Amino acid sequence: MEKIVIVGASSGIGADLARILAKEGHKVAALARRFDRLEELRSEYPNNIFIYEHDVLQPETVPDLMLQIGKDMDGIDTLIYSSGVMPDVSKDPYGFANDKAMVDVNITGAIAWINEAAKRFEAAGRGTIVGIGSVAGVRGRGAQPVYNASKGFLHIYLESLRNRIAKKGVKVTTVKPGPVDTEMTKGLSMPMMMPSRTAAEIIAKNRHCGNEIYLSFKLKVIFFILRNIPSFLFRRLKI
Amino acid sequence: MSGRSLPIELDYGYFETVQGYGQSTYGQSWVYRPARVDEIREVLQLAKQNGRRVCLRGSGRSYGDANYLEESITIDITRMDRILSWDRTTGILEAEAGVTIEDMWRHVLEDGYWPPVVTGTMYPCLGGALGMNVHGKNNYCRGTLGEHVLEIDVLNANGELKTLTPRDEEFFAIVSSAGLLGIITRVKIQMHAVNSGDLKVWAESADDWREQFELFEKFEHNSDYMVSWVDCFGRGAQAGRGLFHAAWYKETLDPKSLKEEKQDLPSLILGFFPKSMLWKILKKFCNRTGMRFVNWAKYVSGSTLGNNKMHDQSLVAFSFLLDYVPDWRRAYEPGGFIQYQTFVPKEHARRVFSRQVELQQEAKLESFLGVLKRHRPDNFLFSHAVDGYSFALDFKVTQKNRERLWKLAHQMNDLVLEAGGRFYLAKDSTLRPEDVAQWLGPEKMARYKALKSEWDPEGIFATAQSDRLGLTHRPR
């Protein structure tokens, strides 16, 4: 039985991961702002799911909460950072508030949790950190500069951490989902949309791989190609 | 912790993964290594301030989950390793609780003494060894380690130091209660006088269970040590086959053999192969087929080459067989192993132990090693010993066999309980609360609870094992 912390578990991939992992018999600490959602989740697996109201915009609360969760679950083996926002920036492409929100949730919150977990896991000589990035972070496309950059940040940050602590026994897994049908993507029409449950199943299965993963072979091929297109050509593409 | 005051917050600089010797389970906790009593008090204070329970740990030689507790403050006493006094005329040694059996024999041997009771490895420390009240191959004639202790200092959960002697009833509870009542910090113990650093050892092979027990009966009144190895792969007419050893202290004075350097085990075997690599070879055999062969080969060589012969062996070589292959436990990686030892009154021993082996064979989970020893009862609260025998077994744990292995252990436990037998916390990974309640009986359980509320009213001393066995509870 594994003890898993999921930050951002009230909906989407995080919530589905909580369900899948709790069903497998693991202990899951589910964290989110929306406590009523967490209560629903707990009612599905009352013996396995522990719930905590938490706003990633308050990173200073992370160390104490991590200690509390460890105590409640008799340890922590895995941290999954699944919080992320992608506000609609099409109306106001240079609006600072939206961009700052993405930096706060997708970057600052991630650093607060992942650093704290890394400190703990490095000391213990074992543990797994999973960050949910995005294919959006692979290249800087024109539509959402800060969203893309925030995911790109996460990828590089996790890669650096992996290079630092893999040799200490800690696995760092970067997940790069393509479009997934969640609240975040509601109302958007995107190609190759994947159901959230399917995405969560793939992530749950590969969480300890300690590497970068795409959720399908097709995405892997497409983004391998996109990643290697030189910038002067990439600028001319309509993607 | 070098003289500095501890910070009030929990610091990941002290955070570690902690395991029992069998490496089959683990927990993570903040591990502090105080070097004096005042520093232990500081750690107790730190635990209280942070609302964490305290787990006591010595050398970490208990096989199961008796020496760690998830998310606790763990007090590892191995830095309390000073020998405080040694009197070569009386043979009385006074030491801090982190002093190991190795430290003791190295200190006293040249003066003609040897620890009265030693375990199969020399690395346990006094605090841990008394917490478990360990025995050796001389349990039937010398009792447990606790029976040779003259005085102990014990800290209760409030940090108050008390001195206890065998005249105090509590002495018999603190010793044997696995660190659940208090922290032993200082020990005064009587060493055993010896004339020689060697023992006379008799080896005789046993062809079946009947012969095994006959050999023990033959030597139990006129030997200083007895132990027998059992091949758990033997079945039918060969069930219980193995190799019996009895040993005696020597009567003639031999000062040369008492030199420390005469005792040290060679670091090479056959003169060229480093023993530190031996576990890697052992690992290749660490499966049913390999171990069936190893056990067979040992039996065949024992029953031909060394059979019915008296030979001299150093105290260290005879006593600390487990230290012969350094890091031998690594042969069981990655899943680790559990050690399983049960104690059965003599009239039922043959039936229970032979049935235990049959159950292993039916489940295809034979122990890779079986060790039979003779015991006598004692007055300690969590006493494991009976007027009878014990059978110690090593089971490899894998992800696949774990569930079946625990089921097998529960079946074997039931046989022991039916026969009025007992268990040993240092070697337990599989007991359930109801097994412990039946082993100890209502009177001892009540006595334990009364002492617990007196010595540790807030219930801060706990281990993963004590939670599993219902001897302690997580605060809600």
Q: What are the extents of the domains in chain A?
A: 3-234
Q: What mean pLDDT do residues A210-219 have? A: 96
The answer for B 202-241 residues in CB contact with A (under 8 A) is: none
Q: How confident is the model at residue B4 (pLDDT cuts 50, 70, 90)?
A: low
C-alpha dihedral sign at A204, A205, A210, A215: negative
* CB of B15 less than 8 A from some CB of A: yes
Residues B261, B264, B269, B273: what is their CA dihedral angle, to the nearest 10 degrees? -90
* CB of A71 less than 8 A from some CB of B: yes
Strand-pair partners of A230 = none
pLDDT at B391 over 60: yes
Go through B21-41 and write b for each residue having 16 or more CB atoms within 10 A of its CB, e for each that does not.
bbbbbbbbbbbbbbbebebbb
Q: What percent of chain B has pLDDT over 90?
A: 86
Whole-number pLDDT of residue B5: 66
Q: How confident is the model at residue B456 (pLDDT cuts 50, 70, 90)?
A: very high
Q: What mean pLDDT do residues A165-169 have? A: 96
Q: Which of A163-172, B238-247, B279-288 has the lowest mean pLDDT?
A: B279-288
Neighboring chain A residues of B52 at a CB cutoff of 8 Å = 71
Element (H, E) at B276: none
Q: How confident is the model at residue B459 (pLDDT cuts 50, 70, 90)?
A: very high
* CB of B307 less than 8 A from some CB of A: no
Please give the CATH number for the structural domain made up of A3-234.
Answer: 3.40.50.720
Q: Determine contact, residues A207/A78, Cβ cutoff 8 Å.
A: yes
Whole-number pLDDT of residue B6: 67
Residues B449, B451, B452, B458: what is their CA dihedral angle, to the nearest 10 degrees? 120
Mean pLDDT of chain A: 95
Q: Most distant CA pair in chain A: distance in Å?
A: 55
Tell me if A120 and B52 make a contact (CB, 8 A cut-off): no
- Omega of the bond leading into A179 within 30 degrees of 0 (cis): no
Phi, psi dihedrals of residue B57, rounded to the nearest 5°:
-140, 135
Tell me if A67 and B17 make a contact (CB, 8 A cut-off): no
Q: Are strands B268-269 and B273-274 parallel, antiparallel or unpaired?
A: antiparallel
Counting one residue from chain A and one from chain B, the pairs whose CB atoms sit within 8 A come to 27
> Is B329 in a helix, a strand, or coil?
helix
Model pLDDT for residues B107-153, shown as the tens digit of each residue: 999 999 999 999 999 999 999 999 999 999 999 999 999 999 999 99
To the nearest whole Å, the CA of B476 is away from the closest chain A CA by 9
**Least CA distance to A116: which residue of chain B?**
B12
pLDDT at B325 over 90: no
Please tell me what DSSP assigns to residue A36. Answer: H
pLDDT at B433 over 90: yes
Task: Compute the distance between CA of residue A185 and CA of residue A227 in angstroms, rounded to an integer.
Answer: 23
* More confident site: B351 or B299: B351
Q: What mean pLDDT do residues B6-19 have? A: 89
* Residue given tokens 């122990």 in the structure block: B367
Neighboring chain B residues of A71 at a CB cutoff of 8 Å = 51-52, 71
Mean pLDDT of chain B: 94
Closest CA to A118 of A151, A81, A68, A149: A81
pLDDT at B476 over 90: no
Nearest neighbour of B15 by CB, restricted to A71, A74, A124: A124
Tell me if A120 and B17 make a contact (CB, 8 A cut-off): no
Closest CA to B53 of B69, B37, B32, B33: B69
Model pLDDT for residues B200-255, shown as the tens digit of each residue: 999 999 999 999 999 999 999 999 999 999 999 999 999 999 999 999 999 999 99
Query: Could you count the other beta carbons within 10 Å of the beta carbon of residue A234?
Result: 16
Nearest neighbour of B28 by CB, restricted to A67, A119, A124: A124
Q: Domains in chain B, ordered, with CATH? A: 12-77+451-468 (3.30.43.10), 83-193 (3.30.465.10), 198-433 (3.30.70.2520)
pLDDT at B1 over 70: no
Neighboring chain B residues of A123 at a CB cutoff of 8 Å = 12-13, 15-16
Q: Which of A94-103, B175-184, B293-302, B342-351 has the lowest mean pLDDT?
A: B293-302
Whole-number pLDDT of residue B126: 98
Q: Which of A55-64, A228-237, B172-181 has the lowest mean pLDDT?
A: A228-237
* CB of B333 less than 8 A from some CB of A: no
Q: Determine contact, residues B456/B156, Cβ cutoff 8 Å.
A: yes
